[in-house]
Amino acid sequence: MRFGTRLLVSFWVVLIVAISIPGVYIYYSLKKDFLETTRQDAWRTLGLVEWLAQQHPPFASEAALDQWCKTFARQLGHRITVIETGGRVIADSDVPIESVPGMESHAFREEVMSAFRTGRGSSIRYSDTLGRYLVYAAVRISLNNHPSPVVFRIAMPFSDVESRLNEYARQFWMVNALIFALALALSVYFARRLESPVHQIIDRIQKIGTGDYSHRYIADDGFEFHQLSGNINEMADRISCQVETITRQKYELAAIIENMREGILLLDKNGRIKAVNQAVEELAGCRGSCTGKTPMEVFVNNEIQAACDRVIAGTPEFSFTLELEEDLFYEVYLAAIPEGGALVVFYNVSERKRLEKIRRDFVANVSHELKTPLTSIKGYVETLLSGPFSFADDAKSFLQTIHKNANHMSAIVDDLLQLTRLQDKPFLKRLSAIDAAACFNGALERAMPMVRQKNITIDHQITAPALVKADEAALAQVFGNLLDNAIRYSPENGAITVSASVAGDRIVFAVADEGPGIAKQHQSRIFERFYRVEKERSRFTGGTGLGLAICKNAVTGMGGEIWIQSPPEGKSSGSVFFFSLLKPRTETASNIETTNGDNGIKD
């Protein structure tokens, strides 16, 4: 419905209500006043009849009383009826005398009952005898020659009053109809005048929506519309400036994105490609035809599609390394968009991977080259020390120093080779369900000589089977290095606690020691190669500086995470090394649960 029509209908409804309510109220108020006036007239007339009847000499018979009523009623113009006790009519001015005995009993007439009971009564009702509405007034009178009191009743027609009232009502509604017709015509005229600037506003806003921001004023003298015109023009200017700014920024951003070396890909909430830059088009080979497709259709790669589905499903962000072909690597970063969808960024890390491979190959080659002469040095020194040779004390001390450093260098070379092998092994392709408890027991058995030497207590809380998705040799290496690290830095007669707990789809292992701990500023770097917190202490303990780096590469290669907490919660010293691994898909929560109070695993 149009605005003008709704305005007119609303005005008409208000007008009808405003006219009708007073009219109905006045009608019923006048009717009540007229009725009360007629009733008072009836009482006054009945009072006169009562006085005359009591002043009249005794009536000789009921016929004489009836004749008196007819004579007097002709003078008054109203009907007079006389009823005795029991309701029998003995006289009626409007009924022939011969028909009076045959009239029905009036004992249950409202006004008659009230008169016999209280002395007077009145009512308004339709008279079947006269065929119209009458106002009845009755009074109880004691006649001189009548054995019991009788009731004199007078009836005055109400129809004359009602006719006058209906005439007034008819005139009232005719005047109201004229007023309504005039108001209707004026309202249509003024509504159209008011509607004109509204249509101009609509037309102006529509043109602003199509890009026409020129200034125009609404043709109306009203202050409000003039002010509204100014506001619309001001709004058009602001929109124009904002559109220009957004357009400029859009082109600038498009130029930046198109010339970025990194690939940018935008997905909608359904996982389909909304936009890509030139780098992605070159990478996927879909110049001009990427939009509207799924990542799987463009890249034909399950890893990309799975990562996109994961972020679209609700993961805030995700990243992984993608190998599209030999020597072509990309770091892929995905972030969810609040409105729905995801942003995917491809970083080409092929050069970095190539340099890392060169470095690993160099370390491996150097390690292999060093291993042979070191083995020879160790062999000759051990022969000199254990053979039937006699040396001066200083010479023997020198040989022992050479032997010790050769052993240390050999351990470093072995760890470098182990680290290189861990970096080269594609763990994710050959992981299987491994019992972590068995791997730890093997590592503990190899470390027992050092445990006994320092009289350390091992609190072993991993209960078999504790199944994880891992590589058996790599997991054993992680347990061995963490246990070796804890033993080296724990004081004599100390304690080491090894535990495990379930965290969703992962199992978290913890190795806690009572050593001096690691300061906060060093904790972010302890997993780097050859990083030492206290170089002198590290040399004294005999570490190579590669154990934690080996652990990190092994755990991350198996799809897990490793971190440190030092000091542990509630303590002032010591360290806890945590690492997590995925549970096998066939493993259920009923097979692995956390023991009460010890964070262990029980089946």
Pick one of 1.10.132.20, 3.30.200.20, 3.30.565.10, 3.30.830.10 as the CATH number of 425-602: 3.30.565.10
Do 260 and 275 touch, CB atoms closer than 8 A?
A: no
Do 316 and 336 touch, CB atoms closer than 8 A?
A: yes
Cis peptide before 567 (omega within 30 of 0): yes
Residue 579: band (very low, low, confident or very high) from pLDDT cuts 50, 70, 90:
very high
Q: Is CATH 3.30.450.20 correct for 3-164?
A: yes
279 or 407, which is more confident? 279
Give me the pLDDT at residue 249, please.
85
Q: Residue 448: is its pLDDT beyond 70?
A: yes
Residue 162: band (very low, low, confident or very high) from pLDDT cuts 50, 70, 90:
low
Do 104 and 128 touch, CB atoms closer than 8 A?
A: no
Give me the pLDDT at residue 159, please.
59
Residue 534: band (very low, low, confident or very high) from pLDDT cuts 50, 70, 90:
low
Query: Per DSSP, what are the bridge partners of residue 511?
Result: 498, 577
Give me the pLDDT at residue 335, please.
92
CATH class of 353-421: mainly alpha
Do 462 and 502 touch, CB atoms closer than 8 A?
A: no
Residue 596: band (very low, low, confident or very high) from pLDDT cuts 50, 70, 90:
very low
pTM of this prediction? Answer: 0.41
d(CA 143, CA 147): 8
Give me the pLDDT at residue 424, please.
59
Mean pLDDT of 543-561: 79
Are domains 3-164 and 353-421 of this chain identical in fold?
no
Give me the pLDDT at residue 514, please.
87
Q: Which amino acid is at 31?
A: K
Q: Residue 374: is its pLDDT beyond 80?
A: no
Show me where the domains of the chain are located.
Answer: 3-164, 260-348, 353-421, 425-602
Residue 136: band (very low, low, confident or very high) from pLDDT cuts 50, 70, 90:
confident
Give me the pLDDT at residue 415, please.
61
* Other beta carbons within 10 Å of 280: 23
Give me the pLDDT at residue 593, please.
38
Please report, for residues 30, 155, 207, the alpha-carbon distance to residue 112 in angstroms, rounded to integers and kept in the order given.
27, 12, 84
Give me the pLDDT at residue 594, please.
36
pLDDT in tens, 181-235: 888 788 777 777 776 777 777 777 877 777 777 766 665 556 667 777 778 888 8
Closest to 563 in 3D by CA, of 521, 603, 602, 509: 509
CATH class of 260-348: alpha beta
Q: Residue 432: is its pLDDT beyond 80?
A: yes
Is residue 593 helix, strand or coil? strand
Query: Per DSSP, what are the bridge partners of residue 594?
Result: 601
Conformational region of residue 350, where left means phi above 0, alpha means psi within -120 to 50, and beta covers everything else: alpha
- Structure letter (DSSP) for residue 100: G
Q: Residue 597: is its pLDDT beyond 70?
A: no
pLDDT in tens, 314-370: 888 888 888 877 778 889 999 998 888 899 999 888 877 777 776 666 666 666 656
pLDDT in tens, 504-522: 888 999 999 888 888 887 7
